[in-house]
């Protein structure tokens, strides 16, 4: 007898022995064997003829007994050859009992989440399959959030199916982890990544309104991102939500970390708007770091204009102590002074206006304001405080009289 004949004989012998054993051991209400003995039986035979064992078990009449035996057998098979079990599940049309066995098996702590997901994907009943996978993902994020993020961010196929579900859980569990790991998604499906960023933005907006919200943690997580265009997209989406809640140093650092000039300029302007409503000196100091002279000048004028509307005298006094260069701040202060009926401050800043057209406009505004109160004083103002010619003064007065 050659070796092949030996093997064939051994296989027939094993099959015969297995068939006999299955009929003797796997019997409903058999009190002779303990759970440990059944487990030992399956550990032995699932390494030899697993498919034959499964075929026998699936035909057991008693539902509860069939469930318990299948679970023990599949646990043993998973431990010895998970790939073979996964292949068998792929090739087998599952039914109700087997579906629930897979659910139970997937919750086994000795089975990795990745393997549990593979098994669960074979469940035939859609709602049960989805619910079971949701439970696996939730448990995974709860017990090892970094492992879950690492798996889904490093596996393109997994990302397609589970990128958004896993990150949605991570966002709820730990926003810092969600943010600081986003750079891993820069080369992944952009539509899924956009949905994840949108989910983070929505959650951030919700957190901002909650008591005890700590925007600095989010700012620091954003600061941990690499310096690139992909990170700019994330920062641009989230930063406006936390600007007024995070410390000035963190937000300034975060804005400086933006690589795109366009995005950085936009965020700087938003930062100016927030600072000037609460801390004018800090806002003025902040714009000193602007690289663009035009942007810095624009921000300076915006701050002074806002300050003058809130406290005209303080803004005027401070502006008098600095070199305003080509700023339009003097013109703005004169305008606001006229609106607030402070002719003295208006006249003070008219002298600093270099554009003759702007000067004439300011004089006319002041005259118009005075004219409403005292015609004689208004005429005296035109004669004493302006460079208008007699003809120009006559034209102005005629237009007022005609009205």
Higher local confidence (pLDDT), 18 or 340: 340
Shared domain for 29 and 126, answered yes or no, is yes
The torsion angle over the Cα atoms of residues 10, 11, 13 and 16, rounded to 10 degrees, is: 170
Same domain for 56 and 148:
no
Give domain status of residue 6, yes or no.
no
Query: Confidence band (pLDDT; 50, 70, 90) for 105?
Result: very high
- Within-domain flag for 282: no
Does some domain include residue 290? no
> What tokens does 231 get?
């990170």
* Any domain includes 215: yes
CA dist., res. 299 & res. 287, Å (int): 7
Same domain (yes/no): 157, 213: yes
How distant, in Å, are the alpha carbons of 141, 167, 241 from that of 135? 10, 14, 32
222-271 pLDDT tens trace: 888 888 888 888 888 888 888 878 888 888 888 888 888 888 888 888 88
What tokens were used for 218?
């989010």
What are the phi and psi torsion angles at 43 (to 5°)?
Answer: -60, -40
Same domain as 18, residue 136 = yes
Nearest-angstrom CA–CA distance, 252 and 254:
5
pTM for the structure as a whole? 0.67
Pair 330, 315: CB distance under 8 Å: no
Residue at a domain's end among 202, 229, 259: 259
Residue 12 — very low, low, confident or very high, per pLDDT cuts 50/70/90?
very low
DSSP secondary structure letters along 216-256: HHHHHHHHTS-SSHHHHHHHHHHHHHHTTTS-HHHHHHHHH
In a domain, 374, yes or no: no
The answer, yes or no, to whether residue 373 has pLDDT greater than 90, is: no
Same domain for 161 and 135: no
Structural domain harbouring 66: 12-142
Model confidence pLDDT, tens digit, residues 189-235: 999 999 999 999 999 988 888 877 888 888 888 888 888 888 888 88
Asked if residue 187 and residue 98 are part of one domain, the reply reads: no
Nearest to 73 by CA among 108, 38, 120: 38
Say whether both 191 and 202 belong to one domain.
yes
Per the prediction, the chain carries an average pLDDT of: 85
Q: Tell me: the pLDDT tens digits for 287-313?
A: 887 888 888 888 888 898 899 999 999
Q: Do 149 and 132 lie in a common domain? A: no
Q: Does a structural domain hold residue 151?
A: yes
Q: In terms of pLDDT, which residue wins out, 29 or 188? A: 188
Q: Which residue has the tokens 């090739």?
A: 91
- Domain co-membership, 73 together with 118: yes
Q: Among 91, 107, 142, which residue terminates a domain?
A: 142
The CA dihedral of 119, 122, 125, 128, to the nearest 10 degrees, is 20
Are both 148 and 131 inside the same structural domain?
no
- Note whether 124 and 18 are same-domain residues: yes
Q: In the 8-state DSSP scheme, what is residue 199?
A: H
How many domains are contained in the chain? 2
More confident residue, 42 or 19: 42
96 & 191 share domain: no
φ, ψ (nearest 5 deg) of residue 15: -65, -40
Q: How far apart are the first and last CA of the chain?
A: 127
Is 155 a member of any domain? yes
How far apart, in whole angstroms, are the C-alpha atoms of residue 197 and residue 195? 5
* Res 14: pLDDT: 52
């Amino acid at each position: 007898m050659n070796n092949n004949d030996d093997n064939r004989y051994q296989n027939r012998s094993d099959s015969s022995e297995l068939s006999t054993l299955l009929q003797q051991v796997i019997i409903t209400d058999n009190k002779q064997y303990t759970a440990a003995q059944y487990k030992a039986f399956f550990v032995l035979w699932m390494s030899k003829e697993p498919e034959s064992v499964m075929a026998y078990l699936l035909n057991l009449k008693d539902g509860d007994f069939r469930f318990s035996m299948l679970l023990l057998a599949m646990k043993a098979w998973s431990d010895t050859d998970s790939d073979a079990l996964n292949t068998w599940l792929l090739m087998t049309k599952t039914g109700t009992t087997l579906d629930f066995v897979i659910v139970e098996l997937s919750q086994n702590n000795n089975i990795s989440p990745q393997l549990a997901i593979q098994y669960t994907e074979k469940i035939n009943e859609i709602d049960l399959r989805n619910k079971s996978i949701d439970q696996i993902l939730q448990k995974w994020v709860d017990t090892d959030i970094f492992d879950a993020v690492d798996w889904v961010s490093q596996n393109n196929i997994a990302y397609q199916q589970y990128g958004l579900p896993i990150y949605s859980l991570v966002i709820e569990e730990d926003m810092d982890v969600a943010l600081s790991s986003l750079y891993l998604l820069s080369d992944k499906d952009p539509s899924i990544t956009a949905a994840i960023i949108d989910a983070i933005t929505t959650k951030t907006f919700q957190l901002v309104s909650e008591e005890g919200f700590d925007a600095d943690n989010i700012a620091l997580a954003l600061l941990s991102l690499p310096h690139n265009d992909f990170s700019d997209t994330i920062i641009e989406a989230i930063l406006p939500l936390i600007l007024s809640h995070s410390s000035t140093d963190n937000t300034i650092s975060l804005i400086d970390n933006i690589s795109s000039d366009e995005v950085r300029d936009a965020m700087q302007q938003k930062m100016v708007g927030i600072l000037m409503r609460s801390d004018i000196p800090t806002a003025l100091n902040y714009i000193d770091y602007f690289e663009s002279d035009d942007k810095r000048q624009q921000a300076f004028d915006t701050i002074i204009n806002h300050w003058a509307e809130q406290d005209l005298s303080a803004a005027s006094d401070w502006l008098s102590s600095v070199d305003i260069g080509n700023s339009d701040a003097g013109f703005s202060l004169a305008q606001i002074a006229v609106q607030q009926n402070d002719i003295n401050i208006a006249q003070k800043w008219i002298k600093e206006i270099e554009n003759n057209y702007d000067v004439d406009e300011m004089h006319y505004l002041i005259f118009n304001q005075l004219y409403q109160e005292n015609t004689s004083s208004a005429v005296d103002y035109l004669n004493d405080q302006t460079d208008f010619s007699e003809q120009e003064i006559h034209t102005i007065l005629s237009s007022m009289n005609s009205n």
